[in-house]
Structure 1
Amino acid sequence: MRKGFFLVLGGLLAGAGLADSGTARAATGAWGAPACGAEPAAPSVDVSSVEHYNASVDKVTAYEKAARAYNTCVARTANKEETAISNEAREKIAHIHEGSSAVQKRIAGNFVHLTASLKAASAKFGGSAH
């Protein structure tokens, strides 16, 4: 038996928690990264003999290399798309915030002007008005 198999298996198990939600969704069809190609298929493992076991270790090692490369591509693509969406949202939010702030400033200015006008009128009428 090859000791390398246990190292590969340990690496796969340790890396299994590193997949992001975008990658998990790619497997379900909700989102994908077509530029990364097809997701590598996990090989079957045959442990019926030492020879088959050794061949399985080779297949798993090849799969690990391809799967890590694919996962890196998917993560990079997802990050790029998420950043673009975030930047677009930030611009839209800034536009809305600017419009909202302008309305608030106008209304506050109107209140200042109206209050000053009413205060001046009240003083003019000797405070006897309403």
Structure 2
Amino acid sequence: MVRKGFLLASIGGLLAVVVCAPAHAAERSWLPASCGTEPTAPTVDVSSVEKYNASVDKVSAYEKAARTYNACVSKTALKDETAISNEAREKIAYIHEGSTAVQQRIGANFTQLTTALKAGGAKLQKAAH
């Protein structure tokens, strides 16, 4: 008995997982150590019904292992990305607070200097009359 429907459904499911990855992902080197080794896709042999059925079993096993591995990678990536994002947010807040403090000091200095110049100009103008 040939399990064609199962194989096609399995391949369709795997394609959904693979298609989401960017084309340049192979050029990247980040992989989480905690997920183990990425499963290797099996070779499909369609030279006989027996070998085809054995291939279906291999693809099924691969699909399970690949989905488990992919879930681990996704979970670990999200954790790492969140940590990086939080760290960046903290650094940005620190820089923003410093920048805002400088702007407030300079603004206060401008206000004080303008007030002093106006008062001094008014005093000098009054003295000149």
How large is the RMSD of aligned CA atoms in angstroms? 1.9
- SS of alignment partner, residue 126 of structure 1: helix
Q: Deviations over 1:61-114 (max 9, x none)?
A: 000000000000000000000000000000000000000000000000000000
Show the counterpart of 1:17. Answer: 19
- SS of alignment partner, residue 124 of structure 1: helix
Could you tell me how far apart the structure 1 residues matched to 2:127 and 2:52 are?
Answer: 102
Show the counterpart of 1:92. Answer: 91
Structure 2, gaps ≥5 residues long: none
Question: Hey, which of these two has a bigger chunk of helix by percent?
Answer: 2
Show the counterpart of 2:6. Answer: 4
1:80 aligns with 2:79: yes
Identity %: 62
Q: TM-score, normalised by structure 1?
A: 0.88
Question: What number of residue pairs does the alignment pair up?
Answer: 125
Question: Which amino acid is the alignment partner of residue 20 of structure 2?
Answer: L
Q: TM-score, normalised by structure 2?
A: 0.89
Contact 1:122–1:128, Cα closer than 8 Å, also in 2: no
Alpha-carbon distance, 1:28 to partner: 4.5
Alpha-carbon distance, 1:125 to partner: 0.9
